[in-house]
Structures are given as structure tokens and as C-alpha cells.
Amino acid sequence: MFVLPPPPRYPSQAAYNLAVQNGQAAPMIETNNILSHPTGPEYQLVVGEGTYTLKDDLHLATPPPHPSEAPIVNPNPLATTPQPATAGTKLSLLSLSSRSSPPFLYRVGTNQSTRSNLNSSIQEHPSEGRASGDQFPPSSDGGYTSATGSARATLSIGSAPAFGEGNTFLSATSKDTGKRRKPKNNIAKSNSSFISRCIVHENLAKRLQDRPAEGYFAFANINRAFQWIDLASPQKAEHLTKILFTKGHCLCHDINQVTKSQSHIDLIMGFSTGEIIWYEPISQKYTRLNKNGLINATPVSEIRWIPGSENLFLAAHVDGSLVVYDKEKEDFPFSPDEHSSPTNENSETANGESDSSTKLQIDKSVHSRNQKTNPVSFWKLSNQRINAFEFSPDNRHIAVVSEDGVLRIIDYLKEELLDVFSSYYGGFICVCWSPDGKYVLTGGQDDLVSIWSVAEAMIVARCQGHQSWVTAVCFDPWRCDDRNYRFGSVGEDCRLLLWDFSVGMLHKPKTSSVRQRGSISSRLANPLQRAETPNTSMFRSNSVVSVDGEYEHTIQHDVEPRATTATLPPVMSKVIDPDPLCWLEFTEESIITSCKSGHIRTWDRPRDTSDSDVISSST
């Protein structure tokens, strides 16, 4: 297909002419996405359950630099001018049907809340949208001492309270749910200097109407472009809409699973300039938030809707702050000085030292009375770049990983830091929860995927198999049951690895000798012992924070030596792309991966019929 670009709306004709004179006529020609169907044994993943085969490879077109920008090509390799932040292609998947929801494995006699009906379709991370009515105990919240699942008793789980519940100042906004509110500005007619232009497919309305209900939409960022693609369409390569921004790169985006419908999609995007755009693709409307970095001027590295909320979303800025915004509120300049002082009393009492890494610095609480404007809340975790976070399936916790190699488990409803774990070495890049909320996976610059047990507050295993940094991890909920878990990971080594771990295997006590070592500080109790003490768990299931002082609860957990940590080998490892990978997702039918240069690859799950042929041909 060839889309004739609309007339350029560059800031000045002069800049445009200059670009042309410099031999950059190229910017006017929009390259197209390319769909290819490579076949052969190198495009197959052989695992125990069968063979995954590459369905297609969609290569997103990388947009040329904006003509008004001075060419960024600096031939001096030592130039100290900082590079603008950018990110590889990541996808937000959206399915409007309820059929393809991940199996809720542990839900026997489910008592779903009404809200969960909306949730029950595929989410960007299948675990994320777990309805709060899930009967399975949110182990990170209740203090279950073992992972044997015995402790599903005491806690009445009900639905997790909404974020900021009880704050009347906050709840004032979300009335009138009958009709979805749309953003204000039309993106196609925008004269904003932030948006270069928006290319809409000529048959957009028709395509939206004709498409099957089951298929996935994908929203993908590449460089300064942002595309809306219909993965179910035979014309997959033709984007539904494509937005080109002038200089900001979209680094992260998320779809609101609560508000989505045939006529409404709430999409939130975080940018390298720190700005955030709330975008409704069907009506082509948008609103800018944190405009010009009014609230926080550092790039947004991760952004997600708060589960169950129509308006609120959480953005991680690279300066180490987590900020909750309301999509409909005005920005107001924020300075942390006005903040309410109380931080995490919990940590202060437990850990005598005023180590800022063990408490959550709340610069603005969700319970603040001033909720007329953004930010809704503002937490400062550290000074280090936050690389990723994810909400727990029970909607009570977030797992946050950062560049300094720290994993934090935060009870965001209570605004309280629960646990701090450290990587073996190097920064953490990605994080995800297991579908049942028991485990957290991290991937990082130590080339490892680490499995953490939230309930026991300890590392479970280190998964060794990547040959470079691990950039994305994700559970495959279709291949998880109550004792066995399947997850995948991708990395800078261009590899996709699949892993299986089972609870029984992991809880085998490791009997190798523990020696005292200098660099592994032994200041705190052995996490293993801690998990065994009933007191600790008592505390953790206790909702009253103030009693914890007497218990030996430690928030900061030390690095476990290599000799005492279980390791897990992958069940499959394969180079699946010429470029470093950066994103991974499981759907019912396939594994979808994407790489830094914009290749979106869909790997079909094994089919029973063709299994034998495929295997024989691949070997």
C-alpha cells in the first residue's frame, strides 16, 4: 500500500527547505511496514509440548528524523552530548472479546466482582488484570509462610480496595460513568509542536467495523512514531493510525482494561521528554499531561493504568519517582517540598538506621487533601532510574525494578514499602508477577532471570541461560497450573528462552555449605530462617502497621551467595531475531516478541496435528 502523506506541517517552511537542501528529501517519503513470512527450521521453537512456528514477521517502519531537528548524527564518537532517551519497540495488546482471557488457574468457585467482567480479556500482561475477586490468596499480602498453599484461610480477600479509597477529595472526580469522557484535542488537526502529524488509514472506520471480534489490536512505538495495528487483519502491515511526534519518543504505553469498548479505548503514553499523552484512538482525541515536564521533567520509563481505575495511572520517571496522575485533571507545578513528612514508619522502627533505601519517600500521598490537580500522588523511591514496574494480580502491590539493581515490593494502597531485594549484580531491567501472585520474576544486567517468592521474601532460584542482559520476562498463563509455571524471557542476546519451574523442585532445600563471605554482607538474618519464623508472617498478615516494631522484620534483603541459590536451566533457548529483543507476550494462540529495530514476530503455538511433521522437519 502507499499512503500519500498529508501536506507537511513543519514549524517553518525554512526549516523544511533547509532539510531538503541538505539532501534530506527523504523525510517526506514515509516508508511502510513490511510483512514477511519466513519459514524453515530456524524459525521454529522446539519445546517439549511441540513446536512453535513463526507465523509472520511484521517490520515496523522506522520514521526518518524530523526535518526541523538538527541531524543528530554526531560523527565524534566521544561527543559528550547526551543522547535522547529512546526505547525499543514495545506493544500494548488489546482484545475486545472476552473469549481469549488467560485461564484463571486457581479460581475454583470464583466470585468475580462485576468489574472483573470487563477485565476478563487479554491484558498487556495477563496477570495484571486479574480480577480482585480472585479467590486465590494474594500471598504477598497475607503472611503465608510456605508456598504449599495451605494458608488460604484467614484473610478474607474480597476485592482489593480501590486506590486512595476513603479519600473523599479523590473520589469526587469519578462520577457519571455512563458515558466515557474523551480527551479534548483532535490529534489529526492538532497544531501542537509536540505532534508532527497523524496519518489515519483511509478506510479506518470500515476496517474497524469489519474485523473479527476476537483478534488483537496492537499499539506499538518505534522511534518517534506510534502505530495502531490490527493483528487480526489480513492487511496487518497497514497501520490503522500512525502518529509522528516531533522529537519526543514514546517509551511506554498502556491500555485501560476497564474502560475499553468497541467505541472507546483509553491509551496512555509516556515520553522521553517526561510528557504523557492520554489518547483515545477511535475518536482520535488526545490530552497532554505533565506538559513540558511541569510535574516531573525526566523521561517516563514505564506507565500503567492502576488496575480497576478508569482515571488513574501510574508513571515511573527515570529520576526514581513514581507518580500517579489522573487523566482528567489539570497539571499543577509540583515541588516535593510541600510533602507530608511521614514516610514508612515501618522501616524506621524496624531498621534503626535511616537508610533511605528501606523506606518509601512520599512526597504527596494519595490521601492528601489537595486532589484538585495532578499529581494524585508522588513517591520517590530512590535517585536511580526505574526501569519497570508491574501491578500484582491481586491489585494490591507493585513490584518495581530499577537501574541500581533493586527490586521493591510496595503496597501501593497503603503506600508502604514491604521488601527490598538486590540483584546478583547490575541493574534490573524487567519484572513481572506470576498469575497467582506468589512469585515475581526479574531480569537484569547479570544475564539472569531471578525468581523471588513474595510470601517468603527470598530468592527462589536464579535462571541462567541468557548470554546478555535480560530485557523482558513474562509468564505464560496458559501453561501454568498450581504447581508448575512456564515463563519466557528475551534479552539483548537476541534470544528467546522458555523456562519451566515447579514448586516442588524449587523448594528442595539446598544443602551446600554456607560460608561467610566478605562481600555478601551478613548483617541481616538469613531469609530462609525468617520465612520459618511465624512471627514474621504474623506481622505480614497483620494490617496494623504499628505492632511490627518488635518483630525482626527486615525490609532490605541481602544478596544470596551463588553457592546457596538454586539455579534453573531453560527448556528452550534460541536466537529468534537479528536484533536485541525488548518485549515479549503470550497470547492464547501465540508468543509475540518485538525487537529494538521494530520487528514484531508472532510464533504460533504447537498444533496437535502438525506436531510430528514439524518436529521431523526441524531435526
468 phi and psi angles, rounded to 5 deg = -160, -170
Q: In terms of DSSP H, where are the helices of 318-366?
A: 345-350
First to last CA, the chain: 38
Which of 384, 402, 400, 500 is closest to 445 using CA atoms?
A: 402
User: What's the closest the beta carbon of residue 247 comes to other proteins, in angstroms?
Assistant: 5
Q: How far apart are CA 531 and CA 466, in angstroms?
A: 30
Instruction: Mark the segment that binds other proteins (CB under 8 A) among 79-87, 108-116, 133-141, 198-206.
Output: 79-87
Tell me the C-alpha to C-alpha distance, in Å, between residue 276 and each of 271, 429, 584.
6, 21, 23
Which of 472, 438, 183 is closest to 327 using CA atoms?
A: 183
Query: 13, 66 in Cβ contact below 8 A?
Result: no
Amino acid at 62: T
Query: 570, 498 in Cβ contact below 8 A?
Result: yes
Return the HEC string of 517-569.
Answer: CCCCCCCCCCHHHHHHCHHHHHHHHCCCHHHHHHCCCCCECCCCCHHHCEEEC
Q: Write out the binding residues for other proteins, residues 38-77 only, by CB under 8 A.
A: 69-71, 73-77
Give the list of residues 6+ apart from residue 262 with CB closer than 8 angstroms, or none: 96
Instruction: Mark the segment that binds other proteins (CB under 8 A) among 181-189, 191-199, 255-263, 559-567.
Output: 559-567
DSSP letters, 207-265, are HHHHS-SSSEEEEEEETTEEEEEETTSTTTTS-SEEEEESSPPEEEEEE-TTT-BTTB-
User: What's the closest the beta carbon of residue 44 comes to other proteins, in angstroms?
Assistant: 21
Amino acid at 431: V
Q: Which is nearer to other proteins, 330 or 425 (CB)?
A: 425
Instruction: Mark the segment that binds other proteins (CB under 8 A) among 348-356, 359-367, 497-505, 534-542.
Output: 348-356
- Contact status: 426 vs other proteins (CB under 8 A): yes
- Contact status: 78 vs other proteins (CB under 8 A): yes
- Contact status: 108 vs other proteins (CB under 8 A): no
Q: Give the residue, chosen from 580, 584, 603, 614, that forms a contact with other proteins under the rule CB under 8 A.
A: 580
- Contact status: 275 vs other proteins (CB under 8 A): no
Q: Give the residue, chosen from 357, 368, 395, 537, that forms a contact with other proteins under the rule CB under 8 A.
A: 357
Q: Which is nearer to other proteins, 177 or 467 (CB)?
A: 467
- Contact status: 427 vs other proteins (CB under 8 A): yes
Query: 209, 96 in Cβ contact below 8 A?
Result: no
Instruction: Mark the segment that binds other proteins (CB under 8 A) among 32-40, 47-55, 515-523, 599-607.
Output: 515-523
- Contact status: 555 vs other proteins (CB under 8 A): no
Q: Residues 465-504: x/- map of binding to other proteins (CB under 8 A)?
A: -xxxx----------------------xxx----------
Q: Residues 429-468: x/- map of binding to other proteins (CB under 8 A)?
A: ----------------xxx------------------xxx
User: What's the closest the beta carbon of residue 552 comes to other proteins, in angstroms?
Assistant: 20
- Contact status: 510 vs other proteins (CB under 8 A): no
Q: Write out the binding residues for other proteins, residues 385-414 only, by CB under 8 A.
A: 385, 404-405
Q: Which is nearer to other proteins, 196 or 537 (CB)?
A: 196
Q: How far apart are CA 556 and CA 422, in angstroms?
A: 8
| Site residues (vs other proteins, CB under 8 A) | 69-71, 73-85, 247-248, 272-274, 293, 297-299, 318-320, 337, 353-354, 356-357, 382-385, 404-405, 422, 424-427, 445-447, 466-469, 492-494, 517-521, 558-559, 561-563, 580
